[in-house]
Amino acid sequence: MCRLYRWRIVAVPCLVTAFSLVGLATQADEAPLVPVTREEMKKVLEQSKKAKPRLPLPAADGQDSTNPGNRPVVNNGRMRQLYLPPELRGADFFRGPDPAMTLTGTFKTELFWIVSRANNCIYCLGHQEIKLASSGLSEDQIAALDLNWSQFSPAEQAAFAFTRQITLAPHTVNDDSIAELKKHFSESQVLEILFTVANNNATNRWTGGLAIPQEENGSALLRAVGQGATLRNFSTFLTPTSEQFAGRPSKVAPLGSVEPQQQSAPACLPPRPDSPSREEIETALTACRKRPPRLTLVEEAKARELLPDDWPKGPLPQYVRLLAHFPKAGPARVISLRAAAEKGALSPRLKAQIAWIAAREDRAWYALGHAKARLKTLGLDEQEIHTFDKDSTKLSPAERSAFALVRKLALSPALVTDSDVAELRTHFKDQEVAELIYHVCNAAFFNRLTEAAGLQLEDTE
């Protein structure tokens, strides 16, 4: 397992046995292996074009009902259009510039690459490879993201280290983590990094959780993101790797110690603390109500000007005031979170349970406080909230499979197996399976954003 505070990797025991990940990845009930080297990663990217998605995805053609007008839509978007209700399909994607965002698109794509490599999300990793190459990065510059950060500036290295930390071990982000970023970036840029990386983690859980296959080439992706003018031939990922990087193990992927010449290995995640007890949770929530935020908040009146007229009255939650720093992207994300809570096929109870379980696994106390308030509003008492998923003998088969997937996907999409989703499909409709995964995606975003920012929990009870 990998300590996250320095660039050098230190081997420690891995978090894998709890999910039966040891062994060959050819069995259906095991997660895909993590490619160790860049050469193996490219092979996996190329093979992913033929991957079988965990929900049916019909072949794309001009008559595809998910693609009216034959617009450039990638498989991620097609999967959303097939299985999510209209209000949720693209709500967590903001296209176009935000006037308050100053970091370059290429830099943020590099962050997305690191998130995807750390989560072993092959689909998103392939997309970032294509976008970086289209932006003019050489093969060696992209390889250096995985193998040699010394080639980057101190500011970039600090951002890369933070990105990997909050991706694999969000519970370890603290005052020092944010202070280190502030040495190199303005506070607005720190928030932009946090917003970007939190969203990337959400996207990985959708595309990785559903094992969405790579497109045959990068043309649709580049047209969709506005890089068509720089389109080159992206028909294959199987490009040569230079001698300086060939055969070297990744320093970003979730790997422990690997043998020389080893090409793949089971995912090896940083150990998480044991699931907190009721007493630990209540102590943490009390502290969360008193802590000062690590990032400044927009004045309430100014933040409310960015929201729809029908937004609920009363004091705005701190996460809304935090995101209001970005006048375009912030409200779009706030509105998407509200839509997810109010729309869709899943019950409000199950949505709140998903939020509770994911926040508890991430030790995201602000998010956990909000989830607790939702559960109390739905009629659960204190005892039920703290124990509803603890005794599997009292759960229905549907609840057992749903809660198990939520816990696993909250930790990392690298842990999810074909059988996890297949089991869900025996209890839920495919649209409900997709929506359940979508809510874990939102939790991954919300947990990382609010806890890294150290938001102070409002009086939610």
Determine the pLDDT at residue 65.
Answer: 46
Determine the pLDDT at residue 334.
Answer: 96
Determine the pLDDT at residue 443.
Answer: 98
Asked whether residue 218 falls in the same domain as residue 137, the answer is yes
CA angle, corner 195, sides to 189 and 198, nearest 5? 140
256 in a domain, yes or no? yes
Asked whether residue 261 falls in the same domain as residue 368, the answer is no
pLDDT along the chain (461 residues), means of 10: 37 47 42 96 96 92 48 85 89 75 97 98 96 94 98 98 98 98 98 98 98 86 60 78 96 94 94 94 98 98 96 95 97 95 96 98 98 97 96 94 98 97 98 98 98 93 60
Hey, is 197 helix, strand or coil?
helix
Determine the pLDDT at residue 227.
Answer: 55
Determine the pLDDT at residue 322.
Answer: 98
Run of H or E including 34: strand 34-35
Asked whether residue 362 falls in the same domain as residue 438, the answer is yes
320 in a domain, yes or no? no
160 in a domain, yes or no? yes
Asked whether residue 229 falls in the same domain as residue 368, the answer is no
Asked whether residue 64 falls in the same domain as residue 197, the answer is yes
319 in a domain, yes or no? no
Hey, is 222 helix, strand or coil?
helix
Determine the pLDDT at residue 226.
Answer: 61
Query: 105-118 vs 139-147: helix axis angle to the nearest 10?
Result: 50
Determine the pLDDT at residue 266.
Answer: 96
Number of domains in the chain: 2
How many CB atoms are located within 10 Å of the residue 311 CB? 16
The C-alpha atoms of residue 185 and residue 12 are separated, in whole angstroms, by: 32
152 in a domain, yes or no? yes
The C-alpha atoms of residue 318 and residue 245 are separated, in whole angstroms, by: 45
In terms of residue numbers, what domain contains 121? 17-265
Two structure tokens written together for 42: 């490219």
For residues 353 and 405, is the Cβ–Cβ distance under 8 A?
Answer: no
Determine the pLDDT at residue 234.
Answer: 73
The C-alpha atoms of residue 287 and residue 160 are separated, in whole angstroms, by: 29
Which CATH number characterizes residue 351's domain? 1.20.1290.10
How many CB atoms are located within 10 Å of the residue 300 CB? 14
Asked whether residue 165 falls in the same domain as residue 217, the answer is yes
Determine the pLDDT at residue 16.
Answer: 52
